[in-house]
Every structure is written in structure tokens, then in C-alpha cells.
């Protein structure tokens, strides 16, 4: 008996591998690591418009969603201040608008919104 077989014999690794194909196991791991389903840019834009409001959406645009943090570009310091003051409210609305994706934070920066 080789060393590998001896180490795995009767272990959970051997039993799991014999019941589930590797692709199924990897698929579950990747889904858990990524936080679930992917969200399209259009869904994020629409959720942002609903959460921030039409006026704020005209002066801002979500640019990235990484590790449960949405980064939003804002066209002026006054809108940066306004959205920062409304951050908790907006975050709560985003969590409701995108229920299949956990959102932990919203970060604002001045940048291009086109």
C-alpha cells in the first residue's frame, strides 16, 4: 500500500471524493468564496439609482464591487459630502435592492462618472 492511500484510507477526504465529483466540490467552494451569484453592472446601476435617488445618481456612478464593497465615483466634492452623510441609509437600501449579494460598505471618491 502506498503512503498516499494509507494516509487517505478511511478519512473524510477519501469518502467525500468517492461520492462527489471534483467539479461539484470546486463549484461549491468557488460560490462560497465569491459570495454567491454574480451581479451585473446594470443591476448595480439600477440598485444605486434607487438607493441614492435620481438626483444623486446623475452626479455619481458605481465603478467597482469587490469583496462586498461598492466604490462610487462622484463628480464633485459637494456630492461627495452629501453621499457620505447619507452612507448608512444608502447602504441599507442597497442591501435590500441586491439581496443575493452581501454589501458591507460603500466608498466614495471624486472621479469620472461617464
21 and 58 together in one domain: no
CA distances from 40 to 37, 65, 78 (A): 10, 10, 29
Q: Which CATH number do you get for residue 103?
A: 3.30.300.180
Structural domain tally of the chain?
A: 2
Angle between helices 87-97 and 41-52 (to 10 degrees): 130
Do 45 and 21 belong together in one domain?
Answer: no
Same domain, 26 and 45: no
CA 97/CA 50 separation, integer angstroms: 8
Per-residue pLDDT of the chain (114 residues; tens, 9 = 90+): 544 443 445 545 444 445 667 777 766 666 655 555 678 889 999 999 999 999 999 999 999 999 999 999 999 999 999 999 999 999 999 999 988 888 999 999 999 988
Statement to judge: residues 26 and 49 lie in one domain: no
| Residue 59 and residue 75 in contact, taking contact as beta carbons nearer than 8 Å | yes
Looking at the fold, whether 30 and 46 belong to one and the same domain comes out as no
CB atoms < 10 A from the CB of 82, how many? 17
What range does the domain containing 23 cover? 3-34
Amino acid at each position: 500500500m502506498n503512503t498516499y492511500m494509507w494516509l487517505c484510507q478511511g478519512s473524510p477526504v477519501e469518502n467525500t471524493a468517492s461520492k462527489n465529483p471534483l467539479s461539484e466540490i470546486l463549484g461549491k467552494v468557488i460560490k462560497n468564496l465569491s459570495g454567491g451569484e454574480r451581479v451585473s453592472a446594470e443591476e448595480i446601476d439600477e440598485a444605486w439609482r434607487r438607493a441614492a435617488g435620481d438626483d444623486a445618481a446623475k452626479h455619481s456612478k458605481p465603478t467597482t464591487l469587490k469583496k462586498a464593497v461598492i466604490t462610487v465615483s462622484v463628480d464633485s466634492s459637494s456630492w461627495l459630502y452629501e453621499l457620505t452623510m447619507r452612507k448608512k441609509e444608502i447602504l441599507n437600501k442597497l442591501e435590500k435592492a441586491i439581496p443575493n449579494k452581501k454589501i458591507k460598505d460603500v466608498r466614495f471618491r471624486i472621479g469620472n462618472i461617464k
